[in-house]
Amino acid sequence: MSGRSRHARAILGEELYGRLSETKVLLVGAGGIGCELLKNIVLTGFGHITLLDLDTIDLSNLNRQFLFRKKDIKQSKAMVAAKTASAFNPNVKITPIHANIKEPQFDVEWFRGYDIVLNALDNLDARRHVNKMCMAANVPLVESGTAGYLGQVQPILKDRAECFDCVPKPTPKTFPVCTIRSTPSQPIHCIVWAKSYLMPQLFGEDEDSGSELDEAEKQGENAKEIAALRKEAQAFKAVRAALRSAPAEEASSSSAAKLVFNKVFHGDILNLLSMADMWRSRAPPVPLDFDAIRAGTFVLNRPSQNGNTASTASGQANSSNGSTSTEKALNGNGASTSTAATPAAGGAGLKDQRALSLQDNLELFVSSTERLAARLRAGEDTISFDKDDDDTLDFVTAAANLRSAAYGIPGKSRWEVKEMAGNIIPAIATTNAIIAGLIVLQAFHLLRRSYSSLRNVHVQFKPSMPLSAIAMCPPNPACGVCRDTYTEILCDPARVTLKQVVDGVLGRGADTDMDSNEGEGPEEVCVYEDKRVLSDPDWDDNDNRTLESLNVTRGKFLSIVDEDGEYATIQVAIGALPPDHPADGSALILPSPLPKPPRRQKPRVATPSPPPPPTTTSKKRAAPDDEIEEIDAPSAKRARKDEDAPNVAASFTPSKKRRLEEDGLIMLDTAEEKIEEDPDVIEID
Ligand SMILES: Nc1ncnc2c1ncn2[C@@H]1O[C@H](COP(=O)(O)OP(=O)(O)OP(=O)(O)O)[C@@H](O)[C@H]1O
Ligand SMILES: [Zn+2]
């Protein structure tokens, strides 16, 4: 017996160990958990591993994604991880794929080619997608996530246990537009403003809001407000142009940055101040003065809401005249953030953790704006925030802190801004390693079909019980994903119409000699693609359009929903015709047998459940743009109700477990604050 496999054989038994070399496993994600997991499955003896990740290696990955080295930065994670881990076991075949799991070629048939899928992802959208594909392909899945010291593993098997979507997920935290645009009161409001409003306005795509405003005016909307918005849009046009034009020889290097500064920290604030009503019950902001801050003579005179002037020294940060929140606020991140015109003395600690004075922030604003402008001039079309892109992080840090100063809000260090803007809870390598081990254990239960051994496992912050294992709950009868009936058609979307597919799948076509569903199943149906309505009993405009013209293509699903709610929804996966299909052959191959959706069960009745263990989830990185891709909706009439189970949240008690939170919009002041505020929400790696 080879020394390499002796332990694995002894622990797993000959039968399971023997099967591992033939088992086809798909590992999605080669990040923090993915690297640990790949190492585990390679060393355990899995023989055929497909490793898929869309990303390239970043410097910030190296502290925990140990399959990567500095020389690998900017290379594909999947490729490098596969190469490194292949060397751990000569008997393994790792197929790396550098792609997004949502791409059309990864359709249901492709998923069906795997015996098990292991998720090591970091966003809800991709997790949901893989969950649905595994439901459609009936492939077991192990889902996972970590958040600092917390983590969890959830084995998922259709019809036997809850799927990822059986438990409703909390809606991401968002902020009212006015809070961000006009009345911030916390550092995070200013960070969101800098990252999600100012950066796109200056460095994002040029959205011509002119025609939109013309239209709004025609529709008779508030003329005064439209005039103000038009003025603001014009002013942004001017600063955008300045950032993109070559700097004049004699102009100072800061001229474009100064233009931006004067617009957003002076002109816009004066505009806001002119709306006196807004400041009756809150302290108004103070316009900032570029030259005075630079010269060290700026005095932040911040009137309180009752009209008194509370003057804050321009000199030392710690002068405690006890007047307003301003000074305290500006010092609020510990001790030494300063309103001082001179650079902050509070330089203890690492460079990034240093508190920044008003003058520091101004200089950082100028230099980062110039660096970003130079990138635009060098050919970059648009630049958006990326926590690992120093220029954008500097810009967001400086712009957020300048805005905070104007509003009397505490400033934040570059380090803190990175954490807050990037939605980061620090990843702990050890948690990832524990979770990766637990994933393999649950995968063994699934492969052995010892379903009674499956457990939802949580790594929790409880010294007396660091691990908790919870028996699997049955699927939620109201789940809009796993309770649907899945089927698949093979077709040429350019040649087959919506009606042909729907009639065919429902067994209504006269030309089908398949077993007919006539007499049973839904009578009147609505048809959706995701949340787009494509037809309903009173609206058949799209019936004779091709699937392609409706953007319903390979890898997507058509949902056929019973108008009366009596039968389960049919999910029709769209697959490609076989390669050897004759060119003049039928454009549609229907499933055989045709799907027979069962009558719906009553939703689970809410019963009191024990309090959930303190688990936490959320996100660390914004979802890639393609994940929020807007499809050019073909005359969508109305949005699909939430997974056609509108009362899921109300009718069903979430079991004790993970709540994975939506990516992107969760904005926390600090990791501690979040956990205190909502012990039920965690950050997921
Ligand atoms: N739709 C997707 N398709 C393929 N891979 C994905 C998809 N969404 C996320 N991933 C990958 O999942 C992995 C998650 O790993 P991890 O949570 O460690 O994130 P990271 O991006 O490596 O680290 P950090 O977020 O801390 O910078 C990442 O490598 C990411 O590229
Ligand atoms: Zn479900």
> Please, what sign has the CA dihedral across residues 12, 14, 15, 21?
positive
Separation between Cα atoms, residue 618 and residue 420, nearest integer Å: 13
How many other CB atoms are found less than 10 A from the CB of residue 511?
A: 8
491 known ligand binder: no
Domain 485-589, classified CATH 3.10.290.20, yes or no: yes
Query: Does the pLDDT of residue 617 top 50, yes or no?
Result: no
Ligand in nearest proximity to the CA of 154: 2
Q: Hey, which of 106, 121, 389, 685 would you mutate to test ligand 1's pocket, going by the most ligand atoms within 8 Å of its Cβ? A: 121
At 207 the pLDDT is: 67
Q: Whose CA is nearest to atom 31 of ligand 1?
A: 55
Separation between Cα atoms, residue 29 and residue 468, nearest integer Å: 25
Has 190 been annotated as catalytic?
Answer: no
Query: Does the pLDDT of residue 435 top 80, yes or no?
Result: yes
Query: Does the pLDDT of residue 345 top 90, yes or no?
Result: no
Least confident of 24-33, 208-217, 477-486, 576-585: 208-217
462 known ligand binder: no
Identify the helix (H) or strand (E) that includes residue 150.
Answer: strand 150-156
Residues near ligand 1 (Cβ within 6 A): 28-32, 34, 52-55, 60-61, 77, 100-102, 121-123, 126, 427, 620-621, 685
At 620 the pLDDT is: 34
Least confident of 206-215, 277-286, 454-463: 206-215
Confidence category of residue 360, pLDDT binned at 50, 70, 90: very high
SS3 annotation, 211-277:
HHHHHHHHCCCCHHHHHHHHHHHHHHHHHHHHHHCCCCCCCCCCHHHHHHHHHHHHHHHHHHHCCHH
Ligand in nearest proximity to the CA of 157: 2
360/320: higher pLDDT: 360
Give me the CATH topology for the region 3-168+427-471: Rossmann fold (3.40.50)
Task: Give the model confidence (pLDDT) of 269-317 as tens digits.
Answer: 998 888 888 888 889 999 999 999 999 999 887 665 544 444 333 332 3
Interstrand relation of 455-459 and 467-471 (parallel, antiparallel or unpaired): antiparallel
Ligand 2 centroid to residue 476 C-alpha, Å: 6
At 682 the pLDDT is: 33
124 known ligand binder: yes
Ligand in nearest proximity to the CA of 419: 1
CB 286 within 8 A of CB 269: yes
CATH placement of domain 185-207+255-408: 1.10.10.520
Atom of ligand 1 minimally distant from the CA of 32: 18
How many other CB atoms are found less than 10 A from the CB of residue 349?
A: 12
CA within 13 Å, CB half, 622: 19
CB 655 within 8 A of CB 163: no
Return phi, psi of residue 263, to 5°: -65, -55
599 known ligand binder: no
Query: Which residue's entry shows tokens 């620090």?
Result: 426
Ligand 2 centroid to residue 161 C-alpha, Å: 8
Atom of ligand 1 minimally distant from the CA of 388: 27
Domain ranges of the chain: 3-168+427-471, 185-207+255-408, 485-589
At 343 the pLDDT is: 44
Catalytic residue of the set 35, 178, 491, 526: 178
At 186 the pLDDT is: 94
Q: Hey, which of 106, 122, 129, 626 would you mutate to test ligand 1's pocket, going by the most ligand atoms within 8 Å of its Cβ? A: 122
Ligand 2 centroid to residue 257 C-alpha, Å: 51
Query: Does the pLDDT of residue 254 top 90, yes or no?
Result: no
At 276 the pLDDT is: 82
Ligand in nearest proximity to the CA of 160: 2
584 known ligand binder: no
Q: Percentage of the chain with pLDDT > 90?
A: 60
Atom of ligand 1 minimally distant from the CA of 432: 18
Query: Does the pLDDT of residue 30 top 90, yes or no?
Result: yes
pLDDT (mean) for 451-460: 96
Task: Give the model confidence (pLDDT) of 626-635 as tens digits.
Answer: 332 222 333 3
Query: Does the pLDDT of residue 13 top 70, yes or no?
Result: yes
> How much is the ipTM here?
0.97
At 213 the pLDDT is: 64
Query: Does the pLDDT of residue 408 top 90, yes or no?
Result: yes
Ligand 2 centroid to residue 328 C-alpha, Å: 50
Per mean pLDDT, which of 136-140, 196-200, 352-356 is the most reliable?
A: 136-140
At 575 the pLDDT is: 97
Task: Give the model confidence (pLDDT) of 653-678 as tens digits.
Answer: 222 222 223 333 222 222 333 333 33
Cis peptide before 184 (omega within 30 of 0): no
pLDDT (mean) for 71-87: 97
33 known ligand binder: yes
Query: Which residue's entry shows tokens 């355990």?
Result: 44
67 known ligand binder: no
Confidence category of residue 108, pLDDT binned at 50, 70, 90: very high
At 675 the pLDDT is: 30
Q: Whose CA is nearest to atom 22 of ligand 1?
A: 31
CB 221 within 8 A of CB 201: no
Ligand 1 centroid to residue 275 C-alpha, Å: 45
Atom of ligand 1 minimally distant from the CA of 30: 29
Atom of ligand 1 minimally distant from the CA of 685: 17
Mean pLDDT for all residues in the chain: 80
Q: Hey, which of 38, 51, 52, 54 would you mutate to test ligand 1's pocket, going by the most ligand atoms within 8 Å of its Cβ? A: 54
